[in-house]
Amino acid sequence: MTTTVAGDLVFDPYDYDFHEDPYPTYQRLRDEAPVHHAAADDLWVISRHADVFDVLRDDGVFSNRMGVSLDASAWSPDAHRVMSFLALDGAEQSRIRKLVSAAFTPRRVRELTPEVQRLTEQYLATTLAASADHGDADWIGELAGKLPMDVISEMMGVPRADRDEVRRLADLVVHREDGVRDVPQAGMDASIELFGYYGEMVRERRRGPRDDLTSALIAAELDGDRLRDSEVMAFLFLMVVAGNETTTKLLGNALFHLAAHPDQQTEVLAAPDDPSTLVVPWIEETLRHDTSSQMLARYVVADAEVAGVTVPGGSKALVLLGSANRDERVFTRPTAFDIHRDKAELAQILSFGTGRHFCLGANLARLEARVVLEELVRRVSHFEVHADRAVRVHSTSVRGFASLPVTFQERA
Ligand code: HEM
């Protein structure tokens, strides 16, 4: 089969107008060119839910070997050195993921709940005080931008005294200046420093294990096989890249969209004694409606047919999770934000991927969002987002806000 190229349809993942609202472009892609060759970046863009799902499941042809990012410097057969099993296929991916899963257990995640609650109360207190003092507070700067990395540090066993510095480095690793397409020098330098820090922590835990994830990763063993130090370090680094900014953006997008729907906000905030009933659907609908991880790259190992179009071997494919979640073939009124959406529909969101690379931290992300937003419901009777002053991140890997001014009204 020949390839399709839609007439005037331009897909530019670096375009600022696209970042402002990518959904009309996704809609056109789904309708006019569900497998679209974006010539400028030589990308094969896949936008329908069924095709995104199939590509993610067909991991023998659509490989993670070169990483999953659009950044040119991150697209490399060595990506696994810092991205661990996210950038590996087949048996190599299974081996490390299984060893890591022996340490990164659902129980270890659950046991983080009191610390997530403590951090939530601490940061929410400063957020609400800032809002009372200045009229509004930056939800990202005060809370959403801090808590996810602190939770990761807690899990790994980073001492509290080091956490601000580790968070500063982690923020630099993922920070992108407007208009810069690739990883900036400051990001490279911070990556090296953070890697060095984790290397020292791994060596320390080898000498004296503690009750933390790093020690558990070192101790993990399956049929006599263990993780090497470099593999433990790569996984610790992957947690920062995969689990930090994505969760920050989820917390920001949740407030942004609920505030834009006052009736639904009233409903959610009406139940301070039983916040969970509506907080969980609020989180899931945010994940569907405007997910923080919008697109994933794949290296195409051999010619493959997707929706009747041949995607050539050796090329780079891009699956649009954000578009799949708005596909009218799966979701009713997909453009509407609706916390009462049918559960069976919500079960089909692709925000955490699917198949071999399904997000290892999905439970943790959901736990953090639930604890934070439930506490917000307990403490706050109303909030207003100042969308005109919100600052969006211009990034191909995450969607959300760098800064989100919000006025909070505390309950009496
Ligand atoms: C809202 C927050 C999050 C979103 C939207 C998200 C999204 C994703 C997606 C889409 C993938 C699949 C990548 C692929 O198929 O190539 C993934 C993988 C992964 N995520 Fe998450 N993630 C989130 C939070 C987290 C957290 C909190 C952690 C851990 C601390 C985490 C750790 C991972 C890891 C380790 C992988 C790689 C799995 C593999 O390759 O087998 N994520 N995530």
Binning pLDDT at 50, 70 and 90, where does residue 276 land? Answer: confident
Q: According to the model, what pLDDT value does residue 410 have?
A: 97
How many angstroms is it from 378 CA to the middle of ligand 1? 29
Cβ-based neighbours of 369, under 8 Å, separated by 6 or more: 247, 250, 251, 254, 283
Q: According to the model, what pLDDT value does residue 215 have?
A: 98
270-274, 351-355, 356-360, range with the lowest pLDDT? 270-274
CA distance 236 to 200: 12
CA nearest to 187, candidates 168, 212, 202? 168
Q: According to the model, what pLDDT value does residue 2 have?
A: 38
Question: For ligand 1, is residue 250 a contact (CB within 6 Å)?
Answer: yes
Q: Report the pLDDT averaged over residues 342-368.
A: 97
Binning pLDDT at 50, 70 and 90, where does residue 187 land? Answer: confident
Q: According to the model, what pLDDT value does residue 135 have?
A: 98
**Please, is 42 exposed, middle or buried when counting C-beta atoms within 10 Å of its C-beta (0-12, 13-18, 19+)?**
exposed
Q: Token match 């891009």: residue?
A: 318
Dihedral angle of Cα 370, 156, 59, 246, to the nearest 10 degrees:
40
Q: According to the model, what pLDDT value does residue 297 have?
A: 98
Average pLDDT in the chain? 94
How many angstroms is it from 67 CA to the middle of ligand 1? 13
pLDDT tens-digit map of 75-115: 999 999 989 999 999 999 999 999 999 999 999 999 999 99
Binning pLDDT at 50, 70 and 90, where does residue 4 land? Answer: very low
Q: Which of 155, 359, 367, 396 to mutate to test the pocket of ligand 1 (most atoms within 8 A of CB)?
A: 359
| pTM of this structure | 0.96
How many angstroms is it from 165 CA to the middle of ligand 1? 23
pLDDT tens-digit map of 113-155: 999 999 999 999 999 999 999 999 999 999 999 999 999 999 9
Of all residues in the chain, the percent with pLDDT exceeding 90 is: 86
Question: For ligand 1, is residue 353 a contact (CB within 6 Å)?
Answer: yes
CA nearest to 247, candidates 394, 116, 80? 116
Q: Report the pLDDT averaged over residues 226-237.
A: 96
Protein residue with least CA distance to atom 25, ligand 1: 243
Question: For ligand 1, is residue 144 a contact (CB within 6 Å)?
Answer: no
Q: How many helices (H) and strands (E) does the chain have?
A: 19, 14
Angle 162-405-239 from CA coordinates, rounded to 5°: 35
Question: For ligand 1, is residue 33 a contact (CB within 6 Å)?
Answer: no
Q: According to the model, what pLDDT value does residue 245 have?
A: 93
Q: According to the model, what pLDDT value does residue 3 have?
A: 42
Q: Token match 């979701």: residue?
A: 331
**Pairing status of strand 43-46 against strand 316-320:** parallel
Q: Report the pLDDT averaged over residues 224-249.
A: 95
Q: Report the pLDDT averaged over residues 366-377.
A: 98
Q: Does 318 have pLDDT greater than 80?
A: yes
**393 in Cβ contact with 254 (< 8 Å):** no
Binning pLDDT at 50, 70 and 90, where does residue 328 land? Answer: very high
Question: For ligand 1, is residue 296 a contact (CB within 6 Å)?
Answer: yes
Q: According to the model, what pLDDT value does residue 73 have?
A: 81
Q: Does 7 have pLDDT greater than 80?
A: no
3-state secondary structure of 383: strand
Question: For ligand 1, is residue 357 a contact (CB within 6 Å)?
Answer: yes
Binning pLDDT at 50, 70 and 90, where does residue 173 land? Answer: confident
Query: What is the full DSSP assignment across 137-163?
Result: EEHIIIIITTHHHHHHHHHHT--GGGH
How many angstroms is it from 374 CA to the middle of ligand 1? 23
CA distance 57 to 375: 37
64-78, 254-268, 375-389, range with the lowest pLDDT? 64-78
Q: Which two tokens stand for residue 13?
A: 């993942």
